[in-house]
Amino acid sequence: MSSSPPKKSPTRQPDRTNCMACATRSNCIVGILVPENLAIASSLVSESTFRSGDEISPEGEMASSVKIIKVGTVFGYRIGKDGRRRPIGIAGRGTAFGMYGCFGRHNQVSGVAVSAGRYCELSIRHLEEKTQWADAFREHLINDCIRSFGLAADWSAAMRLRTLVKQLAYTLLLLSDVQGNPVVQLPTHTALAELLGTTRESIVRGLIVLEGERCIAKLERKKCHVYGDRLLQWLDSALLVQPPNREINEIKSLKAR
């Protein structure tokens, strides 16, 4: 499934933020600046809300600001050789979008929200004016570029697993990681289906399988508890005991439920 998500932009008015007291500080490229530089940066950072479906940073544009996810889940989208836009990874708190604009380069992916959340925004022009700490900030940006490559590599690893249920299990581990919490705010079944190239019904069946294995527990609304160690053990045992021809049997089993 590869339909492009709707292009919506965050519309709420930005608020000023207090970087020193931010709970995401340890994951943020602004928050890890030394205190004297952080005090300057905090006065330049604004905070905005976004909704599911909002486009955080369009692919191909030259960003005028860096947007750092504070709360919420965002999928990265990339336009393929056939001109269709597909999800290529998962991002969460601390992930920066628009950072290539600091180096005079265009966005390589689009960031599209799959949940409500908040991001902090720092103007690249303001960054260039604050030369006393801009070099330190750019060093942190380079580290975040490396981290973003790691996120894409994690997603590539997920897609190497042989069956949908294993891919879904790995996706839940990645969601828990980017949200920094074993209690995960799940994207919609439709969004997960697009991410994994399957149907909404198959996602529902896959979650039932993982719940039956006691790897996850459904909570209120769209939340579930991801038991990371149990899920990893299940993945390891499934990889060891399941030969390739079991993939077809697993799919048939899912359809029969």
Q: Measure Cα distances from 229 to 134, 149, 235, 236 in Å.
A: 40, 25, 10, 11
What was the pLDDT predicted at 248? 47
- Indicate the class that CATH gives domain 161-256: mainly alpha
Q: By the 8 A CB rule, do 16 and 47 touch?
A: yes
* Average pLDDT over every residue of 225-243: 81
pLDDT in tens, 56-77: 999 999 999 999 998 899 999 9
Strand order across the beta sheet in which 110-113 lies: 55-57, 110-113, 74-79, 85-91
What was the pLDDT predicted at 244? 45
Residues of the chain with CATH 2.60.120.10: 15-157
The alpha carbon torsion through 177, 69, 58, 193 (nearest 10 deg) reads: 40
Here the tokens at position 240 are 């060891």
What was the pLDDT predicted at 51? 95
Confidence of residue 255 (pLDDT cuts 50, 70, 90): low
Residues of the chain with CATH 1.10.10.10: 161-256
Q: Measure Cα distances from 256 to 161, 202, 205, 245 in Å.
A: 22, 11, 10, 18
- In CATH terms, is domain 15-157 a member of 3.30.110.40? no
Query: Lowest-pLDDT range, 55-64, 83-92, 115-124, 237-246?
Result: 237-246
Q: By the 8 A CB rule, do 68 and 29 touch?
A: yes
Here the tokens at position 68 are 């750092």
The more confidently predicted of residues 189 and 254 is 189
What does DSSP say about strands 15-16 and 46-50: parallel, antiparallel, or unpaired? antiparallel
Here the tokens at position 30 are 């602004």
pLDDT in tens, 116-148: 999 989 888 877 776 566 677 777 778 888 888
Q: Whole-prediction pTM value?
A: 0.76
With 50 as the cut, is the pLDDT of residue 210 above it? yes
